[in-house]
Amino acid sequence: MKYLKIEDLKDGYLYFIDARNAKHGIWISSRSGFLISRYKFGNNFLFEEYHWDCVAFATVKPLREIEKSPFKSERLDKAMWDEDKEILDYLNRFGNKYKLLLEKEENGYCKVCGSVWYNCLCYHEDL
């Protein structure tokens, strides 16, 4: 699977990702990781997973840029420790949009244009 390299990512942007615990996350360049919304044992919390090209604990392959998040880098850097509810809510809201995207997909391909879903240019329509 092709994925975006670290040098191609933009700090503070939301990306579609292929990861162990999420399908989208905000890139934090200073940490070489993605901030994600994670559910475990009924709890929802911010969590960090690292880019596939990192040496240790690499679990994320970024697939496509979605949008610039409304958060500054300094805030994202400390979000996990502050348990920043606004960032968590932002990620969860996008997660709800993502469920709609899956309804427009069949076997990994967009039903509208036929592209692989993460390369599709029509995914924002109707959301």
Which range of residues forms the domain containing residue 20?
6-119
Assess whether pLDDT exceeds 80 at residue 113: no
Q: Is residue 42 part of a domain?
A: yes
In a domain, 33, yes or no: yes
Residue 124: inside a domain? no
Domains in the chain, number: 1
* 51 found inside a domain: yes
Residue 127 belongs to a domain: no
DSSP single-letter state for residue 45:
E
Alpha-carbon distance 60 to 27, whole Å? Answer: 11
Q: Which of 4, 13, 11 lies closest to 31, judged by CA?
A: 11
- Kindly state the average pLDDT of the residues 45-61: 90
Round to whole Å and give the CA distance between 112 and 47: 33
Classify residue 38: in a domain, yes or no. yes
What average pLDDT does this structure show over 29-44? 91
Is 92 among the domain residues?
yes
